[in-house]
Amino acid sequence: MADAAGVPEEDKAAISGYNKDDCASTNPQAATPPATVPPPATTLTAWQALLAGIAAWLKPKADVKPPLKLNRVVKLGDTGEDVKDVQRRLIALGFNDVVVAGIFGPVCQAVVRKFETACNLSPDGEVGDLTVMELNKGVRLGTQDQPLNPPPLSAGDKPPWYITAEKWIGFHEVGENHGTEPFIAGAKCGKLGDAWCAIFANYCLETSGFKGTRSATARSFETSPEFTKLKLPALGCIVTMWRGSKDAGTGHVFLYDGENSSGVRGIGANEDDQVKRSIHERSRIVGYYWPKSAPPPKERVIAVGDNAGRAASEV
């Protein structure tokens, strides 16, 4: 067992000259070791451990007051304010792939595992007592260098709303179009039970500082004064599709990030009841749209491999 500085008990004993297994001798001569006895062999190791403890103490710290307190083990599928507290703490410690939404989804689980691995804990993806203890130490272990989801082929900068969408890949609805409360609140449109592809697109835009259509209708982007139609696609642009017939007004919406011989690829919601990257039929694409409040994009077709996604089932 080591003390708070990271020094093993046996090595600390070596530094102080005391060993817990020593006891008073009945032989006075045995009580005084010869002057020629060399220093304990563990002294160097002890100093190394002490220096390591000091180095750990000097690592950048984050504000962890008040300490995180949980009344349960927080795990995949959980929702609530305690989940938000965990997500805020992860971000404070440098794990910026997570979103403060109060839903413990697959992305949040992956971030917790990443944190646990950095802390030399078993990466079970659940926030129990040991993980809370590490979260409360305040040591910044995370970085923003590696996103959880692989980016598409380079084609200019990712717009902020696309980065937000990437963080939600893997989120799955609860029941029939439920569990989407954070998206509804952030999008400023829709209600529980609504098809949520447009709600999600608006959520990504609004929470990134860009006004959406504030409509739960997928094809609302086609007529919104807040958006302009592009001649060519661009990374992260809003793509609308028709369903039933082109004039019916019903359809689907997603964020573009490439295309291949199978169709047009992008990140969308309510696809197989989740947020995912999928391939869509090119013949059903209505148009590509961009928020007027954002800088003009780099318009171009982004080529991706033929196995870089699979067809989606939209609802």
Statement: residue 171 has pLDDT above 70: yes
Q: How confident is the model at residue 101 (pLDDT cuts 50, 70, 90)?
A: confident
Q: What is the rounded distance in angstroms from the CA atom of residue 243 to the CA atom of residue 250? A: 5
Which pLDDT tens digit goes with each residue over 251-294?
Answer: 999 999 999 888 999 999 999 889 999 999 999 999 999 999 99
Statement: residue 35 has pLDDT above 70: no
Which pLDDT tens digit goes with each residue over 187-202?
Answer: 999 999 999 999 999 9
Say which residues have a Cβ less than 8 Å from residue 292's Cβ, sequence separation at least 6.
Answer: 225, 226, 227, 228
Number of neighbours of residue 296 by Cβ within 10 angstroms? 10
List, in sequence order, every beta strand (DSSP E) within 192-250: 227-230, 238-242
Q: What is the rounded distance in angstroms from the CA atom of residue 8 to the CA atom of residue 180? A: 49
Task: Taking residues 214-237, report their average pLDDT.
Answer: 97
Place of tokens 């010869």: 34
Task: Taking residues 92-100, report their average pLDDT.
Answer: 77
Distance between alpha carbon 128 and the CA centroid of its chain, in Å?
18
What SS3 state is found at 93?
coil
Task: Taking residues 214-234, report their average pLDDT.
Answer: 97
Q: How many residues in the chain?
A: 315
- Where do the structural domains in the chain lie, given as residue ranges? 9-48, 60-146, 160-311
Statement: residue 224 has pLDDT above 60: yes
Q: What is the mean pLDDT of the chain?
A: 78
pTM over 0.75: no
Domain 60-146 in CATH 3.30.9.10? The answer is: no
Task: Taking residues 99-122, report their average pLDDT.
Answer: 82
Statement: residue 45 has pLDDT above 80: no
Place of tokens 């750990």: 56
H helix runs in the chain, sequence order = 9-16, 28-31, 43-57, 81-92, 106-118, 129-135, 160-167, 181-187, 197-206
CATH number, domain 160-311, options 3.40.50.300, 3.90.1720.10, 1.10.220.10, 3.90.1300.10: 3.90.1720.10
Distance between alpha carbon 274 and the CA centroid of its chain, in Å?
16
